[in-house]
Structure 1
Amino acid sequence: MEQRRYIILGISGSLRKRSSNTRLLSFIEQLLPEGTEFRQFDGLAALPHFNPDIDGVEAEVHDKVREWRLNVQEADAVVICTPEYARGVPGSLKNALDWVVSSGEFVSKPTAIISASPHADGGAAALASLKLTLTMMTADLPEHASLAIPYISKIIEQDGSVSEPHMVSLLCKLVRSLLQAVSSK
């Protein structure tokens, strides 16, 4: 019997080209078991501002919104890795999430959430805000699949590798928890 291949969608809350959060997603991809497909969605900047007046009107929904929804829909699980801006979730990430509230792509979707920050709290306020939003959207947030990473610039290398063994261990635990949630569906 052939084992089912899982699709994991990575979403960086940062639009910066050399973002620590985006590089961290690339490291997480390396932690996934063979046969798992990792797709990184990089279209947050192309999404129009959320407008509930056109959200339910298929003819008016932007092509980039359809693409975003399809990416989430096709994924078996999602990993969101975000910085913290002004003690919250970056606007581009929140905008993307607003586009999938009513369409329901995150309903029961196993989702891991990470905030990574150069500050001591690791972006804990952004992580709490993201968790609140995803809980309202009824995403499946597995135990041990939430992590705030402080001092990210000290532990992530230019190639995206993580140099701190304890953090690698925590990321492996996060990946195991997420995959366990996927396999139990």
Structure 2
Amino acid sequence: MQNKKITILAVAGSLRPTSTNIRLVKDIQRWAPADIEFIVYEDLATLPAFDDSAVEGEPVAKWRRQLAEADGIFLCSPEYAFGIPGALKNAIDWTVRSGELVNKPLALVTAASNGEKAHAAWLQIFSALSANIPEGGALLIPFIKTKLNERGEIADAATKTAVEAVLQALINAIKQMAAGT
């Protein structure tokens, strides 16, 4: 890992290109540390409905490959009707049998109007999938729209500091895993 950039796959849970979650991960991509390759996954809408069959198709194979190749996952989720977004849950369901998230360092940011229910649901789901959410690697950002400027950048200093801390917790977990500690 010393000579190789750390690769983080960022996944936003909304399909709308101008959503606050997509804007948030793209803002993080702009200011992520130089030794981090922060890749934003943009194919969520291409994944077929999960059906647990042996036939997965190229979009699912590509999704699983990107998850497997990433050193860590940065997931940013909205909350829809007090729950998690269906498209993102569908994507995560495609990993249940294949196990790409088992022990994978994962950071969770739930950025919504409220977000408490979705955040709690995601924490349960990732616990069931044995993802490695490090200490300080989960953050709930309520009222997210009030914390971004018109360009989609984090304008609230406390929020930016909190997101930076989550990203750093993820990076630290990746480095610890690579070092075998």
TM-score (norm 2): 0.93
Query: Which residue of 2 is the match for residue 114 of structure 1?
Result: 109
- Match of 2:110, SS state, is strand
Query: Which residue of 1 is the match for residue 10 of structure 2?
Result: 10
Query: Which residue of 2 is the match for residue 78 of structure 1?
Result: 73
State how far apart, in whole Å, the 2-side matches of 1:32 and 1:109 are: 20
Query: Which residue of 2 is the match for residue 67 of structure 1?
Result: 62
Question: For residues 55-76 of structure 1, what are the alpha-carbon distances to aligned partners after superposition, in whole Å with 9 as ceiling and x for unaligned?
Answer: xx2xx21110001101101100
Residue pair 1:31, 1:175 contacting (<8 A) in 2 also: no
State how far apart, in whole Å, the 2-side matches of 1:35 and 1:180 are: 13
Query: Which residue of 2 is the match for residue 103 of structure 1?
Result: 98
Displacement after TM superposition at 1:2 (Å): 5.0
Gaps of 5+ in 2: none
Residue pair 1:108, 1:138 contacting (<8 A) in 2 also: yes
Question: For residues 63-116 of structure 1, what are the alpha-carbon distances to aligned partners after superposition, in whole Å with 9 as ceiling and x for unaligned?
Answer: 100011011011000011011011111100110011001101001111000111
Code of the residue aligned with 1:169 in structure 2: it is: T
State how far apart, in whole Å, the 1-side matches of 2:2 and 2:125 are: 36
Given the alignment, which residue of 121, 125, 133 partners 2:117? 125
- Match of 1:135, SS state, is helix
Task: Write out the 4+ residue segments of structure 1 that deviate beyond 6 Å after TM superposition.
Answer: none
Query: Which residue of 2 is the match for residue 154 of structure 1?
Result: 146
Give identity over the alignment, percent: 35
Residue pair 1:79, 1:111 contacting (<8 A) in 2 also: yes
Query: Which residue of 2 is the match for residue 167 of structure 1?
Result: 159
Query: Which residue of 1 is the match for residue 33 of structure 2?
Result: 33
State how far apart, in whole Å, the 2-side matches of 1:148 and 1:2 are: 32
State how far apart, in whole Å, the 2-side matches of 1:151 and 1:164 are: 11
Given the alignment, which residue of 152, 175, 178 partners 1:183? 175
Question: For residues 102-150 of structure 1, what are the alpha-carbon distances to aligned partners after superposition, in whole Å with 9 as ceiling and x for unaligned?
Answer: 1010011110001111x2x3x1111111111111100000111111111
- Match of 1:147, SS state, is strand
TM-score (norm 1): 0.91
Whether 2:88 is the aligned partner of 1:93: answer yes
